[in-house]
Homo-oligomer: A and B are copies of this chain.
Amino acid sequence: MDIRALASHLGLSIGTVSRALNDRKDVNAQTRQRVIEAASTLGYTPNQSGRTLRSGRTGTVGFMLTLEHDSAVYGEPFFMALWEGVQTGLTEQGLDLVILLARKGEDGLTFLRRHVSRGTADAWLLSATQVHDERIAFLQDRNIPFVALGRSETERPFAWIDLDFEAVVADAIALFAAAGHRRIGLVAPPATINNSQIVIDCYKAALDAAGIAYDSALIHNGETDENDGESAARELMMLPDRPSALLLMGETAPVGAYRALRALGLEPGQDIAVIGLRDNPACRGLVPQLTCFTLDLEALGLALAGAVAETLAGHGTAQVSHLQRRWPMAPRIGGSHDVQKAVARFA
């Protein structure tokens, strides 16, 4: 089903048909209606390659998924809900979301270069941003619209939405402090991930605000997956003056931490208080229930879609400084009795 076939069937020129279907000027309202109906009954769908070739627009937004980092920082259930929000947000703009994986051993830059010159998408969503992320400068240089899920240190400002790690850390430390904890262990993401420094800085600031002395030995830096949560918890618990509370800034790290604690004969929530990052399925099965933070992932996806639509409209020249926001996360109190005492703070 061609546009040419459709046009000749209607006795019109292909130009008029195209204008009618694309809501452009210079076409009679009645003819437009006729065209739209015929297209619908004949089942005409414009060929995307032809469109893109001519107009330069693909009508899609690419989501760059880098498995190693993404699955370390976020979990898979994180993205499923997020994507749902992004897709519904984009649908309103007539756009579609396409999720792409880097090839094995392919670094982020060559991945982007390949897909950008190929013309896979009109705009991009980046996740798992690094502290120094060359992808951002690359896209900026080429004036390609994009929004990052996560911050990064760059010369020029760019559009991003990131989880409000500042608030998470501050709330968690305040909870611990209110429950009387003075030695609080921290498991932070590896230094290459953008939020690592933020987490550590806020950790120090929150300790200071609570009048607790800072001890660098209580910080564990590295991956934040399940296995690392286990080894990190073990290491911190083997310290001579071990912590009485643990803050784990990884999705699945608490699962490993619970295991490590029990292996050492310590019962989570009883002998030691634990707070995790996010309320995901992996943590939901933990007993006693983990204290952690929740967020509306679908709403976050919608916000990302809105931001990307805005940068797309601005076409590179957009003012992105207002497109930088921290996404709130709400605390959810679990069954750890040490933390429980502080519930009032959030009542």
Chain A residues packing against B (C-beta within 8 Å): 1, 43, 45-50, 52-53, 58, 65, 67, 70-71, 75-80, 83-84, 87-88, 91, 96-104, 113-114, 117-120, 226, 252, 254-255, 258-259, 262, 280-287
Contacts and interface: CB of A to CB of B under 8 A. Distances in A.
Given A87-B101, A103-B88, A104-B91, A285 B255 contact: yes
Contact of A71 (B80, B97, B226): B80
Given A258-B285, A262-B287, A99 B96 contact: no
Contact of A100 (B70, B97, B226): B97
A38 to B, nearest CB: 16
A284 B281 CA distance: 10
A284 B70 CA distance: 19
A102 B155 CA distance: 38
B1 A117 contact: yes
Given A101-B87, A103-B91, A284 B71 contact: no
A100 B98 CA distance: 5
28 contacts: A1-B117, A47-B53, A48-B49, A48-B119, A49-B52, A50-B53, A65-B83, A75-B77, A76-B77, A76-B79, A76-B80, A77-B77, A84-B104, A87-B101, A87-B102, A87-B103, A88-B103, A88-B104, A96-B100, A99-B99, A254-B285, A255-B281, A281-B281, A281-B282, A282-B282, A282-B284, A282-B285, A285-B286
Nearest to A52: B49
Contact of A118 (B48, B114, B281): B48
Contact of A53 (B49, B87, B114): B49
Contacts of A281: 75-76, 226, 252, 255, 281-282
A96 B97 CA distance: 16
Nearest to A262: B287
Contact of A285 (B71, B102, B285): B285
Contacts of A45: 113-114, 117-118
Q: Max chain B CB contacts within 10 Å: which of A102, A120, A281?
A: A281
Please list the 6 inter-chain residue pairs (A to B) with the smallest Cβ-Cβ separation, ordered nearest first: A45-B117, A255-B285, A99-B99, A281-B282, A76-B77, A49-B52
Nearest to A117: B45
A33 to B, nearest CB: 22
A73 to B, nearest CB: 12
Given A67-B80, A76-B77, A252-B281, 11 more contacts: A47-B53, A48-B118, A49-B53, A91-B104, A98-B98, A99-B99, A255-B285, A262-B287, A280-B282, A281-B282, A282-B284
Contact of A67 (B71, B84, B226): B84
A4 to B, nearest CB: 14
A100 B262 CA distance: 42
Given A87-B104, A97-B100, A78 B76 contact: yes
A270 to B, nearest CB: 14
A49 B119 contact: yes
Contacts of A100: 96-99
A239 to B, nearest CB: 24
Nearest to A98: B98
Contacts of A50: 49, 53
